Structure 1
Amino acid sequence: MRCRSSLALSLLLAAAGGAACAAGALVDPQAVLRGWLASLAFWIGLPLGAMMLLFAHDLTGGRWGAAAVPPLRAMVAALPLALLLLLPVLVWLPQIYPWARPEEAAHLRNQFYLNTPFFLARAATYAVVWLLLAWAALRRPGTGANPVAAPGLILLGLTGSFAAVDWMMSVEPDWGSSIYGMMIISGQLLGALALATLAAVLGGRPDGGRVDGGRVDPGQRNDLGSLLIAAVLLWFYLSFMQFLIVWQENLPQEITWYVRRLAGGWGWTAVLGALAQGAVPFLALVWWPVKRSRRGLAAVCALLLAAHLMECWWLILPGLEGGFTWFAPAAALAMGGAGAAVFLRRLGRRGAGRAPARAADGHVAAPAALPDGARHG
């Protein structure tokens, strides 16, 4: 009953956000597209980050998978929907990207890369690769290691970096950063891990039990909290290094990117994001009672997800004429409601809820001891 009510609420929120965007498209379609792209950067990153974490768990194992793998698989199942939500951006490219407007692209030196046919071909390539990897992640072999895990991680790293450059960085085609793709991927990993941890701890009972038969005990919560610390540090390091290098070089063609994002309200957004996605979660998670607490860990994960959404807006909207409008939250609501419906439906299925078997010491059992070949979840 609880799952059905959550599913109904998700669909209601999706309908409300979609109706707001549809009405706004009649008045200011460019504003809606800006908010749509900025919010899509958040939602499409969750299944991509989830796939990376699934492949990493296939390679390394660990008891954290008993709690995190089911929601990670549910996130990957939402990838086709996220790719479908990309279509409005691809159809109305000139409304968003300056390089797609011939009169503004004439002075660009990278037209060989930033042009509509090649852009669409790359987007189709990313979609095909990701869908095949998602199929491999969800239809993994019954026993033994997943042979797709290692090459899958490499492909996700490459395609994810290029997609970040294409869909996010190219809103300002005169600016470039070699660390940008890795920074975006670190945010995707952090967001996916935060959502998986949130779903795991909220899906369990206070005594650590889960309706689906798995266990989210204090030890697993401690492991998930430690992984979140590592993800926070990775994101903070890459974000700060890009800022430090660009600011130290002090070149006009590079520093203007940060000037736009540190002026006015966007500057406060940057400070708040650094605190909410970096300092505050780190300081909370290094205190072990928070890592072992359901409520404490859930609060940190919710803060990380909200901060990551705000970061995606901060990365894209200042570079577009018109900046932030309330269509960005409306688009986030529409996408989030639809994605949550897919996520909850998949997570509620018996196959998605099956967790890895664990030995008496709390570690994942050997492959031979797992029923139905559910190694690592």
Structure 2
Amino acid sequence: MIAEMHHDRRSPVWVWTLAASVAAILAGVLVLDAGALARGALTGWLFCLSVCTGAAVWLLIGSLTGGQWLALAAPVLTTLARWTWAVALCGVAFVAFGPVLFPWWQGGTEPALWFDTTFFALRGAGVLILWAVLGFVAARPLPPPVAALALTLHGLAVSVAGTDWVLSLDPGFVSTAFGAHLAVLQLALALAAVAALSGGNGDIGGLLLACVLGVFYLGAMEYVVSWSGNLPHKAAWYLARQDGWGLAWLWLSFLVGVALPFAALLSTRIRHDPAALRMIGSAMMVGGLAHLIWLVGPQGGMIGLMAVATTGAALSLAFLIAGGRHAR
């Protein structure tokens, strides 16, 4: 009875969140800013997909290493991993957005073999099918050799996904480390969701600290390598992310997603405090979404609005469905 009352009190909040998100998406459609709508929706989708995929990867890591952290995190991670197929299925819609999202879609000077629409669609389908399968199989403990093979396949898939769905939005920019950057971001977002939903313990706090450092290190090293190379096409990619809303998203992602969590997690007491970890996990998720907005399309405020709206709508639907099942 207490759980049902608790659910009833919270449901209206999520209903209004869902309504506001849908209204924001409709506003984007009405203003006919197709580019902002497409990039914002892509950002929100990547955020949700990263949370679910990262959860499956953590479960695969748990099959290899074990540990007390897994016992606490497994219920949330399993639920998130099993949602991967539903989020992956939404990726089909981005084939229709292709001409708006990707400058090479209509043909250009980029390598024709890799930037071919049919090959692009087949690669994307392969990545999404693999992640959907991993979301299901990772829910149960796997033999270490099988878990290791699954993690190897994921490493290949995340490199393809990062190149196709993010870097090819600006095909002049190439980064061999971006796959690793995206993989660590997936792990950080999934563990942040665990902390936000269930709190955690010292092990979760320590892993969150490692994730914060990992995301910052890879992002900073990409910038340092690009700066030292002094190549015009790489400089143009970063300069484009200093225009408009770019610096605002960058500072939001750094302060909320990196600096504040890092400073807080240095304290042993905070790393063992479930209430503090809930706040830190929530902050890291906000910072992670801002970081994805900065990567995918930071120049316009409408892009950020669409990203937040898409993410809010997806999370609200997931909460309402899960809550409805709990009530039954």
* Fold-level similarity (TM above 0.5): yes
Corresponding position: 1:25 with 2:29: yes
Aligned residue among 89, 97, 103 for 2:102:
97
Mind listing any 5+ residue stretches in structure 1 that lack a counterpart? 202-219, 350-377
Letter in 2 for 1:263: D
Letter in 1 for 2:318: G
Describe the SS at the equivalent of 1:324: helix
Corresponding position: 1:327 with 2:328: no
Describe the SS at the equivalent of 1:232: helix
Tell me the equivalent position of 2:263. 283
Cα distance in 2 between the residues matched to 1:38 and 1:241: 23
Aligned residue among 217, 220, 241 for 1:237:
217
Tell me if structure 2 keeps the 8 A contact 1:285–1:291: yes
Mind listing any 5+ residue stretches in structure 2 that lack a counterpart? none
Aligned residue among 254, 273, 286 for 2:253:
273
Q: What is the 5 A alignment of 1:332-343? A: 332-341=311-320
Deviation at 1:27, TM superposition (A): 3.5
Deviation at 1:4, TM superposition (A): 5.4
Tell me the equivalent position of 1:214. none
Deviation at 1:11, TM superposition (A): 5.2
Corresponding position: 1:79 with 2:79: no
Q: What is the 5 A alignment of 1:1-377? A: 1=4, 2-3=6-7, 6=10, 9-10=13-14, 13-28=17-32, 29-102=34-107, 105=108, 107-108=109-110, 110-138=111-139, 140=140, 145=143, 148-201=146-199, 221-318=201-298, 324=303, 326-341=305-320, 348=326
Tell me if structure 2 keeps the 8 A contact 1:48–1:156: no
Tell me if structure 2 keeps the 8 A contact 1:50–1:193: yes
Instruction: Kindly report the root-mean-square deviation, in angstroms, between the aligned alpha carbons of the 2 structures.
Output: 2.4
Bigger mean CA offset, 68-77 vs 85-94: 85-94
Measured against aligned partners, the alpha-carbon deviations of 1:233-268 in whole angstroms (never above 9, x if no partner) come to: 111111111011001111101111111113354124
Cα distance in 2 between the residues matched to 1:340 and 1:51: 19
Structure with higher helix content: 2
Letter in 1 for 2:274: R
Q: Which structure has the greater CA radius of gyration?
A: 1
Query: Given the superposition, is the C-alpha separation of residues 343 and 42 from structure 1 closer, same or farther in structure 2, using an over 3 Å criterion?
Result: farther
Deviation at 1:314, TM superposition (A): 0.4
Tell me if structure 2 keeps the 8 A contact 1:50–1:76: yes
Cα distance in 1 between the residues matched to 2:241 and 2:165: 18
Query: Given the superposition, is the C-alpha separation of residues 324 and 31 from structure 1 closer, same or farther in structure 2, using an over 3 Å criterion?
Result: closer
For these two proteins, the number of residue pairs brought into alignment is: 323
Measured against aligned partners, the alpha-carbon deviations of 1:59-116 in whole angstroms (never above 9, x if no partner) come to: 11111112111000111121122112222212221011111123xx2x22x2210121
> Comparing both chains, which one has the higher relative contact order based on Cα–Cα distances under 8 Å and sequence gaps of 6 or more?
1
Query: Given the superposition, is the C-alpha separation of residues 315 and 74 from structure 1 closer, same or farther in structure 2, using an over 3 Å criterion?
Result: same
The normalised TM-score by structure 2 is 0.90
Letter in 1 for 2:88: L
Cα distance in 1 between the residues matched to 2:321 and 2:146: 25
Tell me the equivalent position of 1:355. none
Letter in 1 for 2:73: A
Letter in 1 for 2:75: P
Percent identity over the alignment is 30
Tell me if structure 2 keeps the 8 A contact 1:30–1:96: yes
Letter in 2 for 1:34: R
Cα distance in 1 between the residues matched to 2:134 and 2:270: 35
